[in-house]
Amino acid sequence: MHKHVVLFNIMIKMTELFMGVIVNKKIALLTGGATGIGRTTAIQLATIGVNLMINFRESQRDAEALAQELTARYGTENYIERADITDYNQCQQLVNKSLLRFPKIDILVHNAGPYVHERKKLVDYSVDEWDYLINGNLNSAFYLSRLLVPIMRKQNWGRIITIGFDRVESTPGWIYRSAFAAAKTGLASLTKTLAIEEAEHGITVNMVCPGDIVGKWKEREIKDAIGVNDDYVPVGRPGTGEDVSRVISFLVDEKSDFITGSIIPVTGGKDVLGKAFRKEI
């Protein structure tokens, strides 16, 4: 009987220790995290010990492989959850399922952002396309913030990161990208406003704005770009997903609490919407 009591007490202590590790570690909800810059961000956060709920909409195999890789490489807890963040009810389900896996959510990295690659004028957008882009890039940030900020307030700590584009804070016109530009400029204002409103609760809110990081470079590391010439970028090399994820990682740090309401470009100095920089040849 004595042995059983001892074993039972050991099991309780181990459970408490395990739960303590989870509670003490930061936990992030990452939208659109299965591929591209989202994947690179997931890797960067895992390297600093952040546990992750990785949201995806279509790339289930990529999300599963990523979660397994992160757990194997870094020993963090990683789960995946399908949800279309353009829909409020699915955002609710995403948060609820995240809280079944983890006791809290400390960090929201709102990486997902629908984009229509076809170049067309405003009048050529269908109403459904317009709604999809506005909901996915702007309303979704409201949905998730509304659901997560009360949780962050209770612990008097939180980090929210949104994603924009170069010069988004100055509300520039972006030809053939009216819906996307309108949503992201609205998101920039929302980011700044939420930062002011929630500062007293220890919650910081910032926006990171990638430059022209395209194709394979979204999932590449900085070392892969060193020595690769890009005459359109002042720093002389392509941008990578790691360039962006390192900034996100910095912003979620405990000691980055003085940075809030900021719109941070990660462009290599390139004026993405204006005239391209090109070295004389």
pLDDT tens digits for range 82-140: 999 999 999 999 999 999 999 999 999 999 998 888 999 999 999 999 999 999 999 99
Q: Which two tokens stand for residue 266?
A: 């990660």
**Over the Cα atoms of the chain, what is R_g?**
20
Q: Which two tokens stand for residue 247?
A: 């900034």
- Reduced to 3 states (helix: H, G, I; strand: E, B; else coil), residue 207 is strand
Among 11-15, 120-124, 142-146, 236-240, the minimum mean pLDDT is found in 11-15
Does residue 20 register a pLDDT over 50? no
Q: How far apart are CA 135 and CA 143, in angstroms?
A: 9
Q: What pLDDT, on the 0 to 100 scale, is given for residue 15? A: 47
Q: What pLDDT, on the 0 to 100 scale, is given for residue 214? A: 87
**How many angstroms from the chain centroid is the CA of residue 231?**
29
Can you tell me the mean pLDDT for 160-174? 93
Q: How far apart are CA 45 and CA 53, in angstroms?
A: 11
Q: Is the dihedral of CA 105, 109, 110, 116 positive or negative?
A: negative
CATH of domain 26-266: 3.40.50.720
Can you tell me the mean pLDDT for 36-42? 97
Which residues are within 8 A (CB) of 182 and not within 5 positions of it... i.e. 6 or more apart? 134
Does residue 236 register a pLDDT over 80? yes
Which residues are within 8 A (CB) of 113 and not within 5 positions of it... i.e. 6 or more apart? 32, 136, 137, 163, 180, 184
Can you tell me the mean pLDDT for 49-59? 96
Q: What pLDDT, on the 0 to 100 scale, is given for residue 19? A: 47
Can you tell me the mean pLDDT for 4-18? 49
Q: Does residue 161 contact residue 109 with C-beta atoms inside 8 Å?
A: yes
